[in-house]
């Protein structure tokens, strides 16, 4: 099934929007965004997710980073920091560096899918990220968007409590309060 052009190309009717980045940090691969925007060079999709936690067909994002089940704060945050830096350094607009012109900012908009199902107490997540780790993850994304000089839209993501809702609710709230 094909989606309407306004869905597959959010830049088509928006003046001044050249490129959008979707940072999907839910525990599951961002396969919906990957499928929806596949082949659209105006929307870049970046997903960091658990390698052993696919509940539907895996799709190909522009950048997919799989982490092992049980991954903890240090490995997760080091990986995320590395790939955000690589995105930041990528020459999306090399042609704008010619003849002394200032390089344009690479993204006009960043969407952040802020899943908290990476939390160690999540019922479905399979990663072992602490509340402090989630806070540090959020800060990495917020700082990245600031350096990119791009507006950041935060979208709530997964988070599935076992018996105690407090850790998951705290993680969700922290995305918006910190």
Q: What is the pLDDT along the chain (178 residues), one digit of tens a residue?
A: 444 444 556 666 667 789 999 999 999 999 999 999 999 999 999 999 999 987 788 899 999 999 999 999 999 999 999 999 999 999 887 655 555 566 678 999 999 999 999 999 999 999 999 999 999 999 999 999 999 999 999 999 999 999 999 999 999 999 999 8
- Ramachandran area for residue 39 (φ above 0: left; ψ -120 to 50: alpha; else beta): left
CA 80 to chain centre: 10
Phi and psi angles of residue 56, each rounded to the nearest 5 degrees, phi first: -150, 180
| Residues 73, 53: Cα–Cα separation, whole Å | 18
């Amino acid at each position: 099934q094909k989606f309407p052009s306004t869905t597959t190309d959010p830049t088509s009717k928006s003046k001044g929007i050249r490129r959008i980045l979707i940072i999907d940090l839910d525990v599951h691969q961002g396969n919906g965004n990957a499928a929806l925007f596949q082949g659209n060079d105006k929307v870049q999709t970046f997903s960091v997710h658990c390698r052993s936690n696919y509940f539907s067909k895996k799709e190909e994002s522009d950048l997919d980073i799989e982490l092992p089940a049980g991954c903890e704060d240090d490995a997760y945050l080091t990986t995320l920091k590395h790939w955000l830096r690589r995105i930041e350094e990528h020459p999306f607009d090399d042609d704008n560096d010619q003849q002394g012109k200032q390089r344009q900012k690479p993204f006009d908009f960043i969407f952040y899918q802020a899943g908290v199902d990476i939390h160690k107490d999540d019922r479905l997540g399979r990663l072992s990220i602490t509340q402090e780790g989630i806070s540090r993850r959020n800060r990495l994304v917020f700082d990245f968007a600031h350096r990119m000089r791009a507006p950041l839209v935060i979208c709530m993501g997964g988070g599935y409590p076992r018996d105690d809702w407090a850790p998951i609710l705290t993680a969700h709230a922290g995305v918006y309060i910190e």
